[in-house]
Amino acid sequence: MEQQADTTRPLEEQPWDGVHLVKATWLEVNGAKAVTWASFDRKIAWLSKMLIEQISKATRTHLKELDAEDARLAERIAALEAEVKAMKADRPTLADSYKGTWQPSAFDQYQRGDACTFDGSIWIARTTTRAKPGSNDEWQLAVKKGRDAKETQ
C-alpha cells in the first residue's frame, strides 16, 4: 500500500521511504504538478543533506566500533608481547650455563646443565658433579675437539 503525503507538512517532514522521497522530488506533495527548478534544487539539497547526515552517523558508529576493536587487539598484543618477553627472560641459554675451562678445584661444583671446556671439547653436566668431564656418565659430550690445523707452505 502506497503511503500518502500529508499536505499540511513540508516535504522534509514527510514519513516516506527512499523510493517515495525520490518520487516527491519530481512531484509536488499536493498533486502531480510539475516542480519548478528552484523548488527542485531545494528538494535535492535537502535530500543530499539527509543522505550526508545518515552516512556520517553510520560512519561515526562504525568508527567507534573499530576503535573498540583496536583497543581490544592492542591490549591482547601487549599481553602476548609481555608473555614472550617473560618466556625469553626465564629461558637459560648455553651462554648462561657456560662456566669456562673445567677446574678440578674442590670448591668448584658443576650443576646439572652447566657447560665447560675440557681437553678442547665442550661438556654438559648431566647431574651435580665434581668429576672430570669424560671420566664417567655425569658429563655429556656436546662438541668434540677437532683436529689441529697443519701449516701449509
Report, in angstroms and rounded to the nearest whole number, the Rg of the chain calculated over CA atoms.
42
Provide the H-helix boundaries in 106-148: none
Going from the C-alpha of 73 to that of each of 29, 31, 70, 77, the distances in angstroms are: 51, 56, 5, 6
Residues 136 and 120: beta-carbon distance below 8 Å: no
pLDDT at 75 over 70: yes
At residue 135, what are phi and psi to the nearest 5 degrees?
-85, -20
**From 11-20, 64-73, 122-131, the region with the lowest mean pLDDT:** 11-20
**From 2-11, 43-52, 53-62, 80-89, the region with the lowest mean pLDDT:** 2-11
pLDDT at 11 over 80: no
Distance CA 40, CA 26 (A): 7
Query: Residue 15 — pLDDT band, cuts 50, 70, 90?
Result: low
Going from the C-alpha of 59 to that of each of 17, 21, 52, 53, 94, the distances in angstroms are: 21, 23, 10, 10, 55
pLDDT at 28 over 50: no
Output the pLDDT for position 32: 55
Span 73-100, average pLDDT: 86
Higher pLDDT, 82 or 91: 82
Is 3 exposed, middle or buried, given 0-12, 13-18 or 19+ CB atoms closer than 10 A? exposed
Q: What is the pTM of this model?
A: 0.41
